[in-house]
Structure 1
Amino acid sequence: MSVAAPAPASSADPPSETSATPGTKPREWPVHLSFAVVALSFAVYVTSGLWRDPFTHVLSDNVGDQAFFEWLMGYGYYTVTQGSDPFFAQLLNAPLGVNLAANTSITVYTVLMTPVTHFAGPQISFVTVLTLNLAGSAFVWYLFLRRWLVKNAVAAAVAGLFCGFAPGFISHANGHLNWTAGWVAPVVVWQVLKLREEGRLRWLRNGVVLGLLLAVGFSIAAEGLFFTALGSGVFVLAWSLSKAVHEEARAALPRVAAALGVTAVVAGSLLAYPLYMHFAGPQTFSGTGFNQDYFAEDAAAYLSYANRSLGGLFGWHADVAPNRTEETSFFGVPLVLLMIVAFVLLWRRSDPGRRATLRAVGIVGLFYLVLSLGPVLHVNKHFFNGFPMPYKALKELPLFDSALPSRFALGVVGVFGILLALLIDQLLAKRPSGGLLNTALAAAIVVSLLPVVPLPLRIQHRAPEPAFIADGLWKNYVTEGGSLSSLPFAMNVTADGQRWQAYTMARGGQQFKIPDGYFLGPQTTGEEGKKQAGRIGSVPLATDWLFLRAAWYGYVASLSNADRAQARADFEYWGLDAVFLAPEITGSDHQPLNRAAVEETARDLLGEPEQVGGVLVWRIRRGVDPVDR
């Protein structure tokens, strides 16, 4: 996610336009195409477990997020065909709905993928976007490095693959279609660097393009775009203050300022409604449902290897991340040392203009690293509460309060990629001197990069879509505008009901609402009073907890009349017409769930079910106590 990039023209000593700009020479295109094939092949390898059977395979390290993004794909088709609000969904979390602008709604993706979603299913849309995100990130970084940084295609290719498939992005490939869109950062930074271009009306064109890119980036990865903007600002400021380029920066200031003004108008116009919904719309909230102290990068993580890497395969993995989806640095000792050595060597070999760029790149890297450590330093899971970090002063500020500090480590990936590209470019320049040193550096690059080569994502079996849903039999049990739920109710660790609703949305026609779901929302069910803090999912009621407890722990409660009365009230609140129980229930990370306990609880509460379309169905007669069965 780094936004650090060397400045073009005189200060950065970049490759010439004729040798480095993609598209300027016809012979460049076969090279670009070859790299695109390599990047796509590598992405298919990483996601191969899902491609083998996208309908019954799921990412075992993040079942909930995959269900959420598949749900968004289904809702995208529903939005396009029904004209519903893309930033607020009534179908989820009945009766309150969900503010999608305050979640990660990936609206551009969901709209673009509507044909695939409708004809092939949200499952195919999900794995397609995930695969193209990874491949596209590597490819765009490659193009960016070739345009602004290096002359040698091999240097750009190696660094591009590193940026696209770094451990942090492989970790986030466990369900996060927003964070795997690592191509957003280099595309935005590319346009930021073009703001200083001279020429009649160039400032207008560049400002419009950047405004459009910001609107797209906000839709796909709002948090990543925020990190990109921060890094861009730090880089530009650090570069501009260098004495070697001070005059050059001053001359470019009017053009950049004019272009940014245009950017603000364009992006502001396109994002006015989603930004309103994000900050002030219904069911919005402050912060997230995640503890920023806990979701901060452990300092030891920078020197460790990720679970899904060759280093992890050989047992060098350290369990110092909040979970397997948040292993955001994990570069290993050799690579960290190599980057320090690379910076020193590049600095010694650079002229004052290039040093201005290297200094700015280094400052951006340190900026991201320090913020990633969160409010309080912790090393090997030991918290040093007496050692507060800079993020402690930022955590309550708008935008910072909604960010997870550990993810700033993804910005270090781009900084490392830039240093790696520069180092390899110099090694391949065939300089007459430094043979022994160059050989040692080449060996160090291999030793540093091999352990971070990714492994395919972990997958597990998930419950197939029952005929009750696939054949539309559910329509006989739901009134217009009514609600339907699988048992247990949908949430991140029991996500079947949410993804099955996604499949019905993708087919079009009549839809049903579901209670609960996996999303981010406010702490309380009401909207009155001041803005609520965020939480994961809806506020639990007694009845959904009754079934979750049965599924997760196998606990079958002895129901009282008070329990039945509470169930009646909960069913009324949700507007629930029916519930159903499939032959299988998908758990998280290979966690077996206790279907027998769920069925026993449902029979005790609701009586004997109907058997329809391969599932057990209970009609809910709202207003009638379940005991009167």
Structure 2
Amino acid sequence: MTQAQDAETDLPAESATVAIATKEATATGVLTTPARTRRLPRLPLADLLVCAGYLALAATVLSGQWRDTDNGYLIKSGQDQTMWEWFFAVTAHSVAALHNPLGTDLQNFPAGVNMMANTAMFGVGVPLTPVTLLFGPTVTFVLVLTLGLAGTAFAWYRLFVRELVRSRVAAVIGGLFCGFAPGMISHANAHPNFVVLLLLPIIAGLLIRIARRAAAAERERPGGRVRDAAVLGLLVATQIALGEEPLLIFALAFGLFGIVYYAHAPRTALRVTRVVAPTFALAAVITLALAEIPLWWQFFGPQSYRSIDHGPMGNDLEALVQFPSESLGGVFAPGANVAINPTEQNAYFGWPLLLLVVFTVGMLWRDRVVRAAGVVIAVFGLLSLGAVATIGKQPTGIDLPWRWAEHVPLLNTVLESRMSMAAIPAIAVVLALASDRAVGTWTQSAVDWKPLAWFAALTGALLPLIPTILPVVERPPTPDFFADGAVRRYVGDGSVVLVPPPRPPDARALRWQADAGFTFPLAGGYFVGPTGTSKKGIYGPEARPTTALLVQAQDTGVVPPIDAGVRTRALDDLRFWQADVLVLPATKNGEVLRETVTQLLGFTPTRVEDVWLWDVHSLRASGAVGITPGGS
């Protein structure tokens, strides 16, 4: 690639970063506008074919779930698929019933759940309400994941082909990695908010154009700035409705990229900052105006929380070089299990790709785009390791920068391992630029060995990362008591208490509630909410004595000791939950649980269809728990 071409490709886009200008440094260090070079004509058909290819790959990855949207379940999602399906279902229910979707008491009754503080993704949940109501939340869930993977890949492809490279092949490679990198495939098991990232490259493209005009000192009408600010504010507000954590990571990496990109030309950086500051300030005002109510609800509304303590959640050093479990490399050369869980394989780039990236960054270090991308990869890779470096899940005792970063507001709510997600577009930028140079060299000399060597190395690095089909199992059916609506006959204005109540390790009851049409609220649940006066965030409801007792009975298979104090605390819990009925479906150690509740309440349950049921209306009203343990 020529020097003039290098200047034009000085405009990348990054998951959390983008280049801010496309200018070439002169001998005096002043950025000037390079001569225009001929670009490929727009080929809508080519773009459609690329989009179709990305969509086909995404559908293949999720084909197991698509084949059985009635009973299929992504096994590696843990309980997260159930939680996300509930989010989509309850959002559709709220919209259809004209209820406030920002909060609900349908789980964690009576305190409820702050939906804005639980990544409910109103940006897709609300528009897809008709899909959810017609076809069910599982279809919405898998549709969002599929379109998220393909849409993210295509949006980055479009940015690369417009701002970074001339070769569509190079742009396709960059987009492919952005949409189907190991971290993206891992999150496709359960986390739509880290899969639907297509707005980030669109935001990046807008910022590139704004900064390019500022760097060139182009005169611009005030109306143009207002338009840019309005579009930027709308995009950011929409991304808030899709996922705030990816937006935060994007903003941090964007800033770092810009600093490194302009490090050699501070005067230009100051000029750009001065020119774009009013536009960004107006965009911030517009964003707040559009998102004011949801953000207030999230941070100050009912069941809001200030921060959440995740504990150590950094990437293990081995996670950087291993192959992801859902890939060809993971099948034929599996590594040790060092991820937080199967949905958080946020790095797992594989040692061949890392070696190739390090080599390529070194070879192209003089390119400002590559240099800035390399710094982002290194810095965010380091941040993703957490407060203390670990190897094979064994702490090394080496303190890392996250030890201080985790005390910064907002950052203290981020899983540090997810910081490596910022490296995905940065790596894609490096791969796309190197591929673009290789294609350019090939067009000039078909016998040059260097392009062939590059694409051979690239194939060797990416082949082990080809994703496999995400595994799906058949989920247990919803108990008939809920599926056919029998539960409605036993619930008034109180709640249903499952035995034991739903919680993060077992959230199946959320599915049953949705299948019953949200005709009753649930005690307990799977969500993030506050605890105590400190309003520290925790997963699930605050622990109550009766929940702990029932979980103990289920886990041990032994009826725990039950005395008058235990029964009194159980009555307090029933009053707190405003319980109408206790329901025991078929479950692990069901006989032990039935005997435990019978002793606790003092009367035997009634068999209703396929569940055992204790009607506690009278107990809650009278304030007395059964006369004799185990009596009727």
The two structures have a TM-score, normalised by structure 1, of 0.89
Alignment of 1:203-352 (within 5 A): 203-243=225-265, 246=266, 248-291=268-311, 294-347=312-365
- Per-residue CA deviations over 1:301-359 (Å, capped at 9, x if unaligned) read 111111111111113323221221111101111100101111123335xxxxxx23322
CA distance in 2 between partners of 1:541 and 1:50 (Å): 36
The corresponding residue for 2:105 is: 90
The corresponding residue for 2:7 is: none
Task: After TM superposition, give the deviation of residue 69 of structure 1 in Å.
Answer: 0.9
Q: Is the CA contact (8 Å cut-off) linking 2:370 and 2:429 kept in structure 1?
A: no
The corresponding residue for 2:535 is: 532
Instruction: Return the letter of the residue paired with 2:87.
Output: L
SS at match of 1:512: coil
The corresponding residue for 1:589 is: none
CA distance in 2 between partners of 1:503 and 1:550 (Å): 28
Q: Which moved more, 1:122-131 or 1:427-436?
A: 427-436
The corresponding residue for 1:38 is: 53
Structure with the greater alpha carbon radius of gyration: 2
Task: After TM superposition, give the deviation of residue 596 of structure 1 in Å.
Answer: 3.9
1:126 aligns with 2:137: no
Instruction: Return the letter of the residue paired with 1:218.
Output: I
The corresponding residue for 2:404 is: 393
The alpha-carbon distance between structure 1 residues 301 and 359, as it changes in their structure 2 partners (threshold 3 A), is: same
Alignment of 1:135-150 (within 5 A): 135-150=150-165
1:627 aligns with 2:623: no
Equivalent residues, number:
595
The corresponding residue for 1:617 is: 613
Q: Is the CA contact (8 Å cut-off) linking 2:123 and 2:241 kept in structure 1?
A: yes
The corresponding residue for 2:526 is: 518
The alpha-carbon distance between structure 1 residues 602 and 451, as it changes in their structure 2 partners (threshold 3 A), is: same
CA distance in 1 between partners of 2:623 and 2:271 (Å): 76
Task: After TM superposition, give the deviation of residue 617 of structure 1 in Å.
Answer: 2.5
CA distance in 2 between partners of 1:411 and 1:152 (Å): 24
Q: Is the CA contact (8 Å cut-off) linking 2:148 and 2:195 kept in structure 1?
A: yes
SS at match of 2:39: helix
The corresponding residue for 2:4 is: none
The alpha-carbon distance between structure 1 residues 102 and 489, as it changes in their structure 2 partners (threshold 3 A), is: same
CA distance in 2 between partners of 1:457 and 1:402 (Å): 28
CA distance in 2 between partners of 1:496 and 1:596 (Å): 19
- Residue of 542, 545, 549 corresponding to 1:542: 545
Q: Is the CA contact (8 Å cut-off) linking 1:478 and 1:512 kept in structure 2?
A: yes
The corresponding residue for 2:11 is: none
1:459 aligns with 2:472: yes
- Per-residue CA deviations over 1:18-69 (Å, capped at 9, x if unaligned) read 736xxx62xx111111111111111112112222222322222223211111
CA distance in 2 between partners of 1:461 and 1:488 (Å): 23
The alpha-carbon distance between structure 1 residues 452 and 394, as it changes in their structure 2 partners (threshold 3 A), is: same
Alignment of 1:500-511 (within 5 A): 500-504=512-516, 507=517, 511=519
CA distance in 2 between partners of 1:157 and 1:379 (Å): 35
SS at match of 2:293: helix
- Residue of 558, 563, 585 corresponding to 1:560: 563
- Residue of 15, 19, 27 corresponding to 1:2: 15
Q: Which moved more, 1:486-495 or 1:407-416?
A: 486-495
The corresponding residue for 1:165 is: 180
Task: After TM superposition, give the deviation of residue 269 of structure 1 in Å.
Answer: 0.9
Q: Which moved more, 1:11-20 or 1:568-577?
A: 11-20
CA distance in 1 between partners of 2:546 and 2:286 (Å): 48
Q: Is the CA contact (8 Å cut-off) linking 1:286 and 1:532 kept in structure 2?
A: yes
Task: After TM superposition, give the deviation of residue 367 of structure 1 in Å.
Answer: 2.3
CA distance in 2 between partners of 1:40 and 1:286 (Å): 39
SS at match of 1:522: strand
Instruction: Return the letter of the residue paired with 1:361.
Output: A
The corresponding residue for 1:551 is: 554
Q: Is the CA contact (8 Å cut-off) linking 2:380 and 2:419 kept in structure 1?
A: yes
CA distance in 2 between partners of 1:497 and 1:228 (Å): 35
The corresponding residue for 2:589 is: 594
CA distance in 2 between partners of 1:599 and 1:14 (Å): 78
Relative contact order higher in (CA < 8 Å, ≥ 6 apart): 1
Q: Percent identity, aligned pairs only?
A: 33
CA distance in 2 between partners of 1:130 and 1:231 (Å): 24
The corresponding residue for 1:580 is: 583
The alpha-carbon distance between structure 1 residues 492 and 16, as it changes in their structure 2 partners (threshold 3 A), is: farther
CA distance in 2 between partners of 1:471 and 1:437 (Å): 67
Instruction: Return the letter of the residue paired with 1:627.
Output: G
The alpha-carbon distance between structure 1 residues 143 and 551, as it changes in their structure 2 partners (threshold 3 A), is: farther
- In structure 1, stretches of 5+ residues that fail to align are 349-354, 586-592
Instruction: Return the letter of the residue paired with 2:356.
Output: L
Task: After TM superposition, give the deviation of residue 416 of structure 1 in Å.
Answer: 0.6
The two structures have a TM-score, normalised by structure 2, of 0.89
Task: After TM superposition, give the deviation of residue 249 of structure 1 in Å.
Answer: 4.0
The alpha-carbon distance between structure 1 residues 599 and 67, as it changes in their structure 2 partners (threshold 3 A), is: same
Instruction: Return the letter of the residue paired with 2:188.
Output: A
- Per-residue CA deviations over 1:523-559 (Å, capped at 9, x if unaligned) read 33xxxx4x33221111111212222233344333243
Q: Is the CA contact (8 Å cut-off) linking 2:583 and 2:611 kept in structure 1?
A: yes
The corresponding residue for 2:114 is: 99
CA distance in 1 between partners of 2:61 and 2:536 (Å): 36
Q: Is the CA contact (8 Å cut-off) linking 1:207 and 1:260 kept in structure 2?
A: yes
The alpha-carbon distance between structure 1 residues 303 and 434, as it changes in their structure 2 partners (threshold 3 A), is: farther
- Per-residue CA deviations over 1:236-265 (Å, capped at 9, x if unaligned) read 22223323xx55545433441121012111
CA distance in 2 between partners of 1:14 and 1:274 (Å): 44
SS at match of 2:307: coil
Q: Which moved more, 1:551-560 or 1:177-186?
A: 551-560
Q: Is the CA contact (8 Å cut-off) linking 1:80 and 1:111 kept in structure 2?
A: yes
Q: Is the CA contact (8 Å cut-off) linking 2:498 and 2:523 kept in structure 1?
A: no
The alpha-carbon distance between structure 1 residues 613 and 190, as it changes in their structure 2 partners (threshold 3 A), is: farther
The corresponding residue for 1:359 is: 371
SS at match of 1:347: coil
SS at match of 2:365: helix
SS at match of 2:396: strand
- In structure 2, stretches of 5+ residues that fail to align are 1-13, 26-32
Instruction: Return the letter of the residue paired with 2:209.
Output: K
- Per-residue CA deviations over 1:145-200 (Å, capped at 9, x if unaligned) read 11111111121112211111111111112211111123232222222222224542
Q: Is the CA contact (8 Å cut-off) linking 2:178 and 2:424 kept in structure 1?
A: yes
- Residue of 448, 453, 466 corresponding to 1:440: 453
SS at match of 2:347: coil
SS at match of 1:377: strand
Q: Which moved more, 1:409-418 or 1:532-541?
A: 532-541
